[in-house]
Amino acid sequence: MFQRTPACSPPRRKRGEGSKKMPDLLFELFSEEIPARMQAKAADDLRRMVTDKLVAEGLVYEGAKAFATPRRLALTVHGIPARQSDLKEERKGPRVGGPEAAIAGFLKAAGLASLDEAKIQRDPKKGDFYVALIEKPGRATIDVLADILPVIIRTFPWPKSMRWGERSARSGALSWVRPLHAITATFGLETEEPDVVKFVVDGIEAGQTTFGHRFMAPAPISVRRFEDYEAKLLDARVVLDPERRKDTILTDAKQLAFAQGFELVEDQVLLDEVAGLVEWPVVLMGSFDKEFLSIPGEVIRATIRNNQKCFVVSDPKTKKLANKFILTANIEASDGGQAITAGNERVIRARLSDAKFFYETDLKTKLEDRLPKFEQIVFHEKLGTQGERIKRIELSAAEFATHVGADVEKTKRAAHLAKADLLTDVVGEFPELQGLMGKYYALAQGEDASVAAASEEHYKPQGPNDRVPTDPVSIAVALADKIDTLVGFWAIDEKPTGSKDPYALRRAALGVIRIAIEREIELYPRGLLERRIKRIRANLSDEEISEIGDSFQRFFEDRLTVQLRDQGARHDLVEAVLHPGGREVGLLSTVRRVEALGKFLDTDDGKNLLAGTKRASNILGIEEKKDKRSFDGTPDPALYKVDEEKALAKAIDQVKAEAAAAVAKEDFAAAMSAMAKLRPAVDAFFDKVKVNDDDPKVRENRLKLLNEIRAATRAVADFSKIEG
C-alpha cells in the first residue's frame, strides 16, 4: 500500500533488511477547514519535509505516505530506526606549536578541555598537527522527532496562512492555513503501546487525541498508531485517503446516473475539488426544470459546476445534458438526504434562472450593436481601446484571408464580431465561456456558420494540447488576433522576460507557430511585424522598426526552437537551418528543413557529407586564421592539377544548381538528395588531394574549392552548426 519513492529520493531500507521490526511514526495536524485546492500539495509537502529531515538526521525509513481531508493532514512513516547510530568524527586541528588562539579555538570547537585529550598526527611534509576524536552518541529517534516536527509546523509552506485567537497578538505567533486545533504524534513498535512525541507548538501539545466527523462523530478519539488511526477515523465517519473519497464519489455518481438511464459527465478537476470538501462523501442526485435545457449546455454546466460544485449528467445516446445534477454531501442526513437535495435544487434553480435570464437578455442585443461600447474600454494603457484593437484585427484578418484562402468578406465579418461576446452578461458571469457564447449568439442572429465558428475558434490554440482551427476564416482571424497582441506589446516594449510573461505572449507565439505548421501556412515574423507596427505607433522610424523587427524575429526563432525541441527535434538542426546564407526563413520552411535535414543525416550519405563538410570547414578555419584572410571567390579551373579536383568542381556546380532549384520549390527532400551527390566527390577529394600544396596558388585555389563545398551546402543548412 505504500507509495514507491522516485529514483532520485534518498535510499530507504527494504522491509526486514538486516534488522528486526522498527518503529513507526503517526503524525496528524487537525485544523479548521483547509481549502480543497491546497490539500494535495500540503500532504506531499508534509511527507517530503518529515522524511527529508529524518534522512538528514541519518534516519533511513522504510516507507511514508501522507493524506489530507478538509480538516487534517496526516502522515505515516514506518520502519524508522529507534536510535541514530553513534557518530565518530576526527576533526583536524592546527599544527603542533601553532598560534595559541588557533589552539584555543580548536579546543573549544571540538569540546576538549586541554591538548592532552587531542591526538597528534604525524606529517613529515607539512609538520605534525593535532586531531580531536569526537564521539557523538546517537540520539533516540523520538527525541529527534520532538525537535524536527515543531520546526516543520512552523515553516510549513502554505500558499497563504493566517494567525488567530488570543495568541495572535504576540510576536512569533503560529501561522497555519486555518486555526490549528490538535496535533497527534506517536512513535513506537507495532506490537507495543507507542509513545507520544513530546513537543508543544504555540500552546498546542502533541498527543494522541483526534476527532471524527464534524457532525456525525465529533467526539475525541484516542489513537495509537496509523492502522488503528485510519480504522477509528473510518468508524468516526472520516475517509482519510483522498483517493478513496474520489473513488467513492466517482463510482456512486456513475451508478446513480446509470440507474436513471443517464451518463455522468466526468470532470477530474471538479472531482479533485469535491473530494477536498468532504470527509464522508454522500452522493445524491437532484433535478431541475426541463425548461432550462433551452440554455446552451456549456452554460448549464458552468453554472452548476462553478457555483455549486455539482456534476451534470447527459443522455448516453444524444450526449445532450439531462435535467439532473449530482451533488456530494458531507453527511448521511437523518432524512436520507431529501432536505439536502431539495435545498441544492432550489439554489440551482435560482442560479439557472439567473443564467437563463442572462442568456435571453444577451440574445436581445445584436453582437454588432455591442461594439460601440468597446470604444470606452481600455485594452492596455499604451495600446488604446478594445475598439481600436478590433479595427486592427479586422484589417489584419482581411490581409491573412487571401494568404490562407479564406473568403475575405466572411473573414472581415468574423473579425468584426469575434470579440463582441465579451460584453454579454453570460461571459461576464462565466469568463471561460468567451468565444463559445459568441458562436451561439452569432448563429442565433443568422450569421454564416464560418463567421460564427470564428468567435470560438480564433482563440485557439490556447496551448500545446489545444486544437488548431481548421476553417480558413477562423485561421485568418486567429492569426490576426495573436499577431496584433504580439506586435502591440513589441511596439510598446513589453516583452516577456525570464519567467514573467503577464500577457501570455509566448502562448500567443506558440499559437501562431502551431497554426503555421499544422495548417501549412508560411509566415515571416519580421515581415508580419514591419507591415503592422505603424498601425499602433505611427511615429516609429524605419531604424526603430528594423530593430524591433530583429527582436521579434529572434523571439519567434526561440519559440520555434522550443516548440521543435518539445516535439523531439534536435536543437542543433534548428540552429543550422535558421539563417542559410544570411536570409530569413519562414516558420513553415524552417520546420520542413529541419525534417528533411534530420532524415538526410540519418542516411550514410548524410553522415559522410556532414563529415566531409566539417572537414572542409575545419581546414578552412585553420588556414583562414593562419593567413588572416578568407578564401571566397570562384576557384580558377586552370589551376586544377588532378582529376579529383575537377570532379569535385563539377559536382559542386551541378549540386548547387539542383539544390537551389529544389529549395526554390521548397522541396527540401530533393535538395538533400542533390546534396547527397556531392559525397563521392568530396570523399575522393580528401582521399587523393593534398590541400596545402607547395605552390601557394594551387593551395589558394584548393581552399577556394573547399569554400565552395561549404557554400553549396549552406543553401540548405549551415553544417558547421550541426553537432556530431
Partner 1 sequence: MDALPPHMRPERSFQGLILTLQRYWADYGCVILQPYDMEVGAGTFHPATTLRALGPKRWNAAYVQPSRRPKDGRYGENPNRLQHYYQFQVILKPSPPDIQELYLKSLAAIGVDSHLHDIRFVEDDWESPTLGAWGLGWECWCDGMEVSQFTYFQQVAGVECAPVAGELTYGLERLAMYVQGVDRVYDLNFNGRDGAEKVSYGDVFLQAEQEYSRHNFEHSDIEMLFEQFKMAEQACRKYLDAGWKNGSSRKEHLMALPAYDQCIKASHVFNLLDARGVISVTERQSYIMRVRELAKACGEAWVHTEAGGAL
Q: How far is the CB of 721 from partner 1 (least distance, A)?
A: 48
Contact 249, 256 (CB under 8 A): no
Q: How far is the CB of 308 from partner 1 (least distance, A)?
A: 5
Give the Cα separation of 321 and 317 in Å (integer). Answer: 11
Nearer to partner 1, 36 or 201 (CB): 36
Nearer to partner 1, 119 or 167 (CB): 167
Give the Cα separation of 217 and 26 in Å (integer). Answer: 21
- Name the DSSP letter for residue 693: -
Give the Cα separation of 415 and 435 in Å (integer). Answer: 12
Q: How far is the CB of 666 from partner 1 (least distance, A)?
A: 47
Q: How far is the CB of 334 from partner 1 (least distance, A)?
A: 5
Q: How far is the CB of 465 from partner 1 (least distance, A)?
A: 28
Q: How far is the CB of 351 from partner 1 (least distance, A)?
A: 9
Q: How far is the CB of 242 from partner 1 (least distance, A)?
A: 16
Q: How far is the CB of 163 from partner 1 (least distance, A)?
A: 5
Q: How far is the CB of 297 from partner 1 (least distance, A)?
A: 20
Long-range pairs of 97-105 with CB within 8 A, sequence gap ≥ 24? 98/129, 103/130
Contact 82, 22 (CB under 8 A): yes
Q: How far is the CB of 362 from partner 1 (least distance, A)?
A: 16
Nearer to partner 1, 71 or 439 (CB): 71
Give the Cα separation of 293 and 323 in Å (integer). Answer: 7
Give the Cα separation of 432 and 309 in Å (integer). Answer: 16
Q: Which of these, 10, 14, 9, 8, lies nearest to 58 by C-alpha position?
A: 10
Nearer to partner 1, 286 or 580 (CB): 286
Give the Cα separation of 474 and 278 in Å (integer). Answer: 43
Binding residues for partner 1, rule: CB under 8 A, are 32-33, 35-37, 70, 160-169, 177-179, 181, 215-216, 277-278, 308-310, 327, 329-331, 333-335, 339-340, 342-344, 346-350, 353-354, 357, 376-378, 381
Nearer to partner 1, 102 or 162 (CB): 162
Give the Cα separation of 69 and 237 in Å (integer). Answer: 12
Q: How many CB atoms lie within 10 A of CB 431?
A: 10
Nearer to partner 1, 68 or 722 (CB): 68
Secondary structure of residue 634 in the 3-state scheme = coil
Nearer to partner 1, 181 or 224 (CB): 181
Nearer to partner 1, 151 or 350 (CB): 350
Q: How far is the CB of 332 from partner 1 (least distance, A)?
A: 9
Give the Cα separation of 441 and 358 in Å (integer). Answer: 12
Q: How far is the CB of 137 from partner 1 (least distance, A)?
A: 41
Contact 315, 262 (CB under 8 A): yes
Q: How many CB atoms lie within 10 A of CB 325?
A: 27
Per the rule left: phi > 0, alpha: psi between -120 and 50, beta: everything else, 337 is left
Residue 183 grid cell = 496535533
Any idea which residue has 497527534 for its cell?
Answer: 184
Nearer to partner 1, 164 or 524 (CB): 164
Determine the residue type at 664. Answer: A
Q: Measure the CA angle with vertex 156, ends 154 and 157; round to 5°.
A: 140
Residue 430 grid cell = 462565466
DSSP H/E element including 313: strand 311-314
Determine the residue type at 644. Answer: E
Determine the residue type at 581. Answer: G
Nearer to partner 1, 195 or 354 (CB): 354
Secondary structure of residue 88 in the 3-state scheme = strand
Any idea which residue has 592546527 for its cell?
Answer: 94
Contact 65, 2 (CB under 8 A): yes
Nearer to partner 1, 390 or 574 (CB): 390
Determine the residue type at 66. Answer: A
Nearer to partner 1, 163 or 506 (CB): 163
Q: How far is the CB of 335 from partner 1 (least distance, A)?
A: 6
- Name the DSSP letter for residue 137: P
Give the Cα separation of 641 and 703 in Å (integer). Answer: 14
Any idea which residue has 459546476 for its cell?
Answer: 305
Q: How far is the CB of 162 from partner 1 (least distance, A)?
A: 4
Nearer to partner 1, 308 or 720 (CB): 308
Nearer to partner 1, 162 or 449 (CB): 162
